[in-house]
Chain A
C-alpha cells in the first residue's frame, strides 16, 4: 500500500507532502568543534585525546621545523635564489592534526599548502630544498615549480597547480583502496577557494554515490589569494555543502591541533567502517601571504594579520598546552629552532650547489618509453647544446650517469 502522506517521486525517497508553502531560507549554522582554548587550556578534560608526550613533541617540533623552513625558503625566494615559494603560517594546526590521525596506508592528495603533512610522514629537509631548487636530486626531475612536492615513500601523490583536480582523483583512489580491501582512506586537502571549482562538486557527488572512503579536508583560511570567503560563497562555509551530497561532515577549529586530530581520527574511522566519504572543514586564518608573488597588505589590514599571530596561532596554542604539561620550555624551543635552522641552511646551500638534472630528463617520462618523435627532438636538443654550449650553459646540468648514481642512492626514480 502506498503511504498517502509520502511524496512517491523517485528523485527523493523520504519527502512527505505539506500544505504549508515554505521557502526554506535558513539552516542551523554548523558549530566549530574545539578542545582547547587559545591559551592552550582544556575545559573538559574528558575531551583531551591524550596523545603521548612523544607524539605531542613530534607534532610541535615539526611545527617549529615547518615554520623555520618557511622562514628560510621565503627569504631565499626574496633573494632570488629560488623562483617561488608558499608558506604555511597559521595552518600548522590543520596540517599536523590531520597528519597525526592518518596512517601511512592512507594515500594523500594535496593542493600545495600541505608540506607539514609530508614532514610529519618523514620526508627529509633535503628533499624539500632539492625540489625547490630543482636540482639533480629533485624528486620531480626539475620539471615542476617549487613546493610541488610528492613522495612515493610518504604515499603522497605529487602536487599539481590546477586547483581542485585532485579532489575527484582522491575519490577514485579511495574506491580502489576499498576494492583492494585496505583499511585506509584517501585524504584530500584543498582550500575553501578551490571548493568553488566544478571538480569539488564532481568529487563529492561521485564519492557519495559510488561509496568511496575519502576524507575531504578543507582548509578554510578565509582567503583565496585576495578574495575573501564572503566573495567565494554565501552558504554556511564548505561543511554545509556535505549535507546536500549525503556526506557526513564535521567543522573543526583548525588552530586547535588536538581538535583537528580527534575530528580527523573519528572521520577516518567512520569512512573506513562505512565505506563512505566524510567532509572535514578546518577553520583557520591564512597568516601567510598567498605566495611569494603576493603582498597581502594590498587587500587586508596588516594589523588584522598581526592580531591572529599574537592572539591565536595554532603553534602558540599548542605550545601553551605543552607548557601546562611541563613538556616544553623556552630553552627546548631555542634548541630545536637552532638545530633546524642549521639543518635547513646546510641542506639549502648543498642543494643550491648541485647541478640541474640532466638535459635528457626533459624528454623522459612523457610516456613510459620515448616515442620516435621525442627521440628526434631529444637529438635536436643534443645537437643544439653541442653547437652552442655557452648559450645553453651546459655545465649547469648533470650528466646522465652521475645523475643515475646520485638519484638511486637517494631512492629516487
Chain B
C-alpha cells in the first residue's frame, strides 16, 4: 500500500520549530474518535486504563473507511474469493475476538483457554465466545502459565488446535521452558513424527502508559533463539485479524503478541469475511527514498509520527516505513531491498536495546547492504533497564528520539 503521510501538521522547519510544535496538542481532524482526545493527555493527569497511543488517531495507515480497507492490496487479494466484501468498524481487541470466533467456527478441534478467558478476558478479547461455542471450548485454566502452555502443547501434539492466552506477555516466562524446550523443538526432535503446529499462544504486550515492570514488557527477542517458534505482532485491527487467523492455522507454534495499548486506540474497518494476512512478510507502509524505518506493533505509529515531523522539518525528505509484522522468521528480503534503495536504516522497538530484535536486523543489514549504507544502522530502543513506572515517557523510544536519530543519520 502506498500511503502518503498527510501534511495536516503546521509547516515547520528546523529542529527548534519541530520541538515547539510538539509542546502543543495536535489539532484533531473532524472524524475524531473519543480515544483520540487522550492522545496527548497532560503529564499530570493519570493515564486512562487502556493507556494512550500517540499518533494512532492521526495515522494514515489506519483503514478507517470501508473504501480504504477494500482498496488495501493485500486485504482485497485475500477477499477476492469471498462472496461478501463487507467491513465492520472494530478496535484491535474486537478484531482479535472476531478472529478467534472465526477460528472456532471453522475448526471443531479448536479450543481457547487461559486465565479468566471464560467471562471474556481481562481485556475483553474473548467476550461472548464461551456462550457461543460452549465451556468445553472456551475455558478458564488454573493460574499457572507453565501448566496452560504445556496443556496446549499436548492438545496440539495429538492434532487439535490450541489457542492459549497468557494474560500479560510479562508472565510468559514461567512457560519459557515449555515454549523453548518443548513447543519449539517438538517437530525437529521427533524427526517430524510429531508436531505442535496447531499451537498459538496469544499475549498482550508492550507499554500501556502506567504498566511498570510487569505490565509493559516486550519479550519478543527472548524467543529469537528458540528455533522453531514463530513470533508475530500486529499493528492494527485488520492486521490483527488476518495475522491471528494465519497464526492459528500455520503448521508451526506461533507466539502472537498483541500491543495492548492498541486494543481500544486502533479502530479500523475490518473485513467481516474469513481472511489471512501472510506470515514472514513485512509490509512497506510508506514508500520513500532517503531513509528506511523498521518497526512493528504500536511502534509503527511512533515511526510514522517521527517521519511526519522529519518531513515537516526537512522539506523534500522521503521516508520509507516498514512494518516487520512477523519477527521470527522475519522478512529479510523486503528490508534489504528497501535499504539498498535508501542507504540508511533505523530500527526501533520498545524492548531494551541489548540483545533486541534491532540488533539482529542491524547486523543482517550491515552484512547484506554494506556497500550501500551511507550511515551506520541506527537503533532507537528501550534502555537496558527494567521497564520503569514514573519514567515511562523518558524510557520509551518516542517520536522525538526517532526524529533526532533520523536527523543524525541524514547529516552523517
A interface residues, Cβ below 8 angstroms from B: 107, 109, 138-141, 143-144, 148, 150-152, 157-158, 160, 162, 165, 167-177, 179-180, 186, 198-199, 201-203, 205-206, 209-210, 364-368, 371-374, 412-413
Contacts and interface: CB of A to CB of B under 8 A. Distances in A.
B155 A202 contact: no
B157 A179 contact: no
The 9 A-B residue pairs whose C-beta atoms are closest, nearest first, are A172-B154, A202-B147, A168-B150, A169-B154, A158-B190, A172-B151, A371-B329, A141-B191, A173-B154
A413 B174 CA distance: 33
A129 to B, nearest CB: 16
Contacts of A140: 189-191, 193
Contacts of B186: 158
Contact of A150 (B142, B151, B177, B193): B193
Contacts of B148: 168, 202, 206
Interface string B165-184: 00000000010011001100
B35 interface: no
A374 B332 CA distance: 12
B158 interface: yes
A149 to B, nearest CB: 10
Nearest to A162: B181
B112 to A, nearest CB: 13
A85 B159 CA distance: 31
Contacts of B227: 366
A171 B151 contact: yes
B372 interface: no
Counting chain B CB atoms within 10 Å of each CB, which of A158, A205, A364, A413 scores highest?
A158
B177 A165 contact: yes
Given A157-B157, A173-B157, A367-B252, A152 B194 contact: yes
B297 to A, nearest CB: 21
Given A186-B158, A203-B150, A203-B151, 13 more contacts: A107-B158, A109-B154, A138-B191, A141-B192, A160-B185, A174-B154, A179-B109, A199-B147, A205-B147, A368-B251, A372-B280, A373-B329, A413-B193
Contacts of B154: 109, 168-176, 186
Contacts of B147: 168, 171, 199, 201-203, 205-206
B332 A202 contact: no
A161 to B, nearest CB: 8
Contact of A169 (B151, B195, B280): B151
A198 B190 contact: no
B228 interface: yes
B192 A367 contact: no
B40 interface: no
Contacts of B142: 202, 205-206, 209
Given A169-B182, A173-B157, A373-B332, A413 B192 contact: yes
Query: Interface residues of B toward A: which range?
Result: 35 or more
A174 B141 CA distance: 15
Nearest to A131: B191
B146 A198 contact: yes
Contact of A168 (B109, B146, B280): B146
Given A179-B160, A372-B329, A413-B193, A365 B187 contact: yes
A393 B142 CA distance: 52
Interface string B24-57: 0000000000000000000000000000000000
Contacts of A152: 193-194
B192 to A, nearest CB: 4
B144 interface: yes
Contacts of B189: 140, 143-144, 148, 158, 160
A139 B191 contact: yes
25 contacts: A140-B190, A152-B193, A160-B182, A165-B182, A168-B146, A168-B149, A168-B150, A169-B182, A175-B111, A175-B151, A176-B160, A179-B109, A198-B174, A199-B147, A199-B178, A203-B147, A209-B142, A365-B187, A366-B228, A367-B187, A367-B252, A368-B187, A373-B332, A413-B191, A413-B193
A209 B228 contact: no
B21 interface: no
B152 interface: yes
B151 A206 contact: yes
Nearest to B159: A176
A117 to B, nearest CB: 16
Given A150-B190, A372-B333, A175 B155 contact: yes
Nearest to A209: B142
Contacts, number: 164
Nearest to A370: B329
A143 B194 CA distance: 14
A175 B178 CA distance: 18
A162 B144 contact: no
Nearest to A139: B191
Contacts of A144: 189
A187 to B, nearest CB: 12
Nearest to B253: A367
Counting chain A CB atoms within 10 Å of each CB, which of B148, B155, B156, B181 scores highest?
B155
B19 interface: no
A413 to B, nearest CB: 4
Nearest to A212: B151
Counting chain A CB atoms within 10 Å of each CB, which of B147, B154, B181, B228 scores highest?
B154
B188 A366 contact: yes
Given A179-B111, A202-B147, A206-B147, A139 B182 contact: no
Contacts of B111: 175, 179
Contact of A143 (B136, B174, B191): B191
Contacts of A199: 146-147, 150, 177-178
Contacts of A413: 191-193
B153 interface: yes
B155 A367 contact: no
Contact of B155 (A151, A158, A176, A203): A176
Nearest to B174: A198
B269 interface: no
Interface in B248-293: 251-252, 280
A141 B194 CA distance: 13
Interface in B313-362: 329, 332-333
A311 B150 CA distance: 41
A367 B329 contact: yes
Nearest to A188: B154
B214 interface: no
A281 to B, nearest CB: 20
B382 interface: no
Counting chain B CB atoms within 10 Å of each CB, which of A107, A173, A374 scores highest?
A173
A372 B337 CA distance: 15
Contact of B146 (A138, A148, A202): A202
A151 B193 contact: yes
Nearest to A362: B188
